[in-house]
Amino acid sequence: MKEYKTMRISPDEEVSVIETLAVFGWKLEDSKEIYNESSEIVGVNVDTKVKTYGDGIIGGFMAGWNGDEGKVERNVAVKTEKKVTHYISLRFSRETSLKNYARLKELEEEYFRGNDSKEYLPLPKKPVVFTVIASVVLAIILISLCTLFVGAKAEIWEIVVCAVVPIVFIPLLIVFWVKYSKKKSFAIKENEDRRVYNKQCREAYDKRVKEIVEECIRLNEENERLQKAR
């Protein structure tokens, strides 16, 4: 009994995929190269131009006679986009009655599972928008306070606003930047730890891949000997 696997890959990957799957007992049954070109309309531009009769006597006569300003010309330009479909369709088969089938399948799953590397954390964004808003507001308050010192009169609510706004915005500004600094420091430290961890994972995985390939080669050789002995 056989099991089958069908894959679509880019032409550049054909050789490496065939060689890799052969390690796990897969045999290539069929290979087809698919190449199609098609055009898709992505937009239409209509350019309208009016050719007038002119400003002279003849032009005025023609405009009055025809009841329009001139001849209308429309040029239609269709924008198309060329799409290319190019891939290789591969069909593999593998005997499920092989003595070492279960082990080959187990090693194949481990091989394609990959390593356990972790993704890096994104760095936090600076609180630029709030900083700009706070800076503008504080600058307005500062200008308002300067006008008070030069003898300008102010309403009570204006004095309250000038006193309250800095009390609110300055602590908030400090909190935003402290949080940003802490998050950035944590992300940098965590990413450094993950970089070391990922490097160890890659090295361990590369070592394990060599062991998997070597074991699969021995299993395939054993299967071939058994088939020839039958």
Helix axes 14-23, 156-229, angle to 10 degrees: 60
Residue 204: pLDDT band (50, 70, 90) is very high
**Averaged pLDDT, 206-227:** 90
- Distance, in Å, from the CA atom of 76 to the CA atom of 95, rounded to the nearest integer, reads 60
Q: Which strands sit side by side in the sheet containing 2-9, from one edge to the other? A: 2-9, 70-95, 27-52
The predicted structure's pLDDT at residue 141: 81
Task: Please check the confidence at residue 155 and state whether its pLDDT lies above 80.
Answer: no
Answer whether 118's CB lies under 8 Å from 198's CB. yes
Task: Please check the confidence at residue 15 and state whether its pLDDT lies above 80.
Answer: yes
The predicted structure's pLDDT at residue 53: 46
The predicted structure's pLDDT at residue 29: 94
Residue 154: pLDDT band (50, 70, 90) is low
Which of 92, 93, 101 is closest to 14 using CA atoms? 92
Answer whether 73's CB lies under 8 Å from 196's CB. no
pLDDT, one tens digit per residue, over 75-131 is 666 677 778 889 999 999 999 988 889 999 999 999 999 888 899 999 999 999 989
Helix (H, G, I), strand (E, B) or coil at 153: coil
Task: Please check the confidence at residue 41 and state whether its pLDDT lies above 50.
Answer: yes
Q: How many CB atoms lie within 10 A of CB 23?
A: 19
**Averaged pLDDT, 50-58:** 50
DSSP string, 1-47: -EEEEEEEE-GGGHHHHHHHHHHTT-EEEEEEEEEEEEEEEEEEEEE
The predicted structure's pLDDT at residue 223: 85
Check: pTM over 0.75? Answer yes or no: no
> Which of the 8 DSSP states describes residue 118?
-
pLDDT, one tens digit per residue, over 162-171 is 778 888 888 9
Among 34-38, 44-48, 205-209, the least confident range: 44-48
The predicted structure's pLDDT at residue 61: 45
- Distance, in Å, from the CA atom of 5 to the CA atom of 169, rounded to the nearest integer, reads 63
